[in-house]
């Protein structure tokens, strides 16, 4: 087996183990393979192992790597998991199926305008800064409810999920639990929480999507 296939098998085994305890079916969580910094050859390896959902954190890098693959694999689903600048909105809308990182009013407005113009709307999720970290993107937890209402009412934007990145070095579970509480309260059914270090905790606490880079592909350069 390739190391990729071994890594994937280990993740699936861990989800199965944890799923028994948490009474969750591993089928109910989607692996988002995070391919930032990795070449197209690694993406193809993942596609050949059956993965179809991918994440990139930079628009430019995704625009260089993915269009040809999207032609070849029509069921490929691409997620933006990094910050989106307003001047990249146009590119992002044609490239990504899911934008996980909507986090501010100016971006919502740019998205709404551009969606109107091109008539294509990707799935939109909000990034929440559960740790109140000043340097980190994301809406503060107590701003989310109003922001959602505002986006729906004024710009007709449909938002269906939340994502978070807990502060480094902290126990992730309170952050995941908070994210889930906010989602439930607002009727959002997608939860992107958990990375290589903490995906099994994310899964236990209700993640529908876990974002895995290192656990699948090994260390980035």
Ligand X SMILES: *Cc1c(COP(=O)(O)O)cnc(C)c1O
| Residues that bind ligand X in the complex, under the rule CB under 6 A | 34, 36, 57, 81-82, 165, 195-197, 211-215
Q: Which is nearer to ligand X, 154 or 197 (CB)?
A: 197
DSSP 39-64: -HHHHHHHHHTT--EEEES-HHHHHH
Q: Which of 43, 80, 84 is nearest to 65 (CA)?
A: 43
Least CB distance from residue 73 to ligand X, whole Å?
21
Q: Which is nearer to ligand X, 6 or 146 (CB)?
A: 6
Least CB distance from residue 198 to ligand X, whole Å?
9
Q: Which is nearer to ligand X, 39 or 117 (CB)?
A: 39
Distance (Å, rounded) from C-alpha 217 to C-alpha 16?
Answer: 20
H runs (alpha helix) in the chain: 3-22, 40-48, 59-65, 67-72, 89-95, 105-118, 144-155, 173-185, 199-204, 214-217
Rg of the chain over all Cα atoms, to the nearest angstrom: 17
Q: Which of 194, 185, 188, 200 is nearest to 213 (CA)?
A: 194
Q: Which is nearer to ligand X, 34 or 205 (CB)?
A: 34
Q: Which is nearer to ligand X, 119 or 132 (CB)?
A: 132
Least CB distance from residue 55 to ligand X, whole Å?
7
Asked if residues 57 and 104 have their Cβ atoms less than 8 Å apart, the reply is no
Least CB distance from residue 77 to ligand X, whole Å?
16
Least CB distance from residue 69 to ligand X, whole Å?
19
């Amino acid at each position: 087996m390739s190391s990729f296939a071994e890594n994937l098998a280990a993740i699936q085994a861990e989800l199965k183990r944890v799923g028994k305890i948490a009474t969750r079916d591993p089928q109910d969580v989607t692996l988002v393979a995070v391919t930032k910094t990795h070449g197209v050859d690694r993406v193809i390896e993942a596609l050949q192992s059956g993965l179809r959902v991918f994440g990139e954190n930079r628009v430019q890098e995704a625009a260089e790597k993915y269009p040809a693959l999207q032609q070849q694999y029509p069921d490929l689903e691409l997620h933006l998991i990094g910050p989106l600048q307003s001047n990249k909105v146009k590119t992002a809308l044609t490239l990504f199926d899911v934008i996980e990182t909507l986090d501010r009013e100016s971006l919502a407005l740019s998205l709404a305008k551009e969606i109107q113009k091109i008539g294509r709307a990707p799935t939109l999720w909000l990034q929440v800064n559960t740790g109140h970290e000043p340097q980190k993107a994301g809406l503060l937890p107590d701003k989310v409810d109003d922001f959602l209402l505002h986006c729906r009412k004024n710009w007709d934007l449909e938002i269906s999920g939340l994502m978070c990145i807990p502060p480094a070095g902290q126990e992730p579970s309170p952050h995941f639990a908070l994210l889930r509480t906010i989602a439930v309260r607002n009727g959002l059914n997608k939860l992107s929480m958990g990375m290589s270090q903490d995906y099994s905790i994310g899964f236990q606490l209700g993640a529908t999507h876990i974002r895995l880079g290192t656990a699948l592909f090994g260390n980035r350069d």
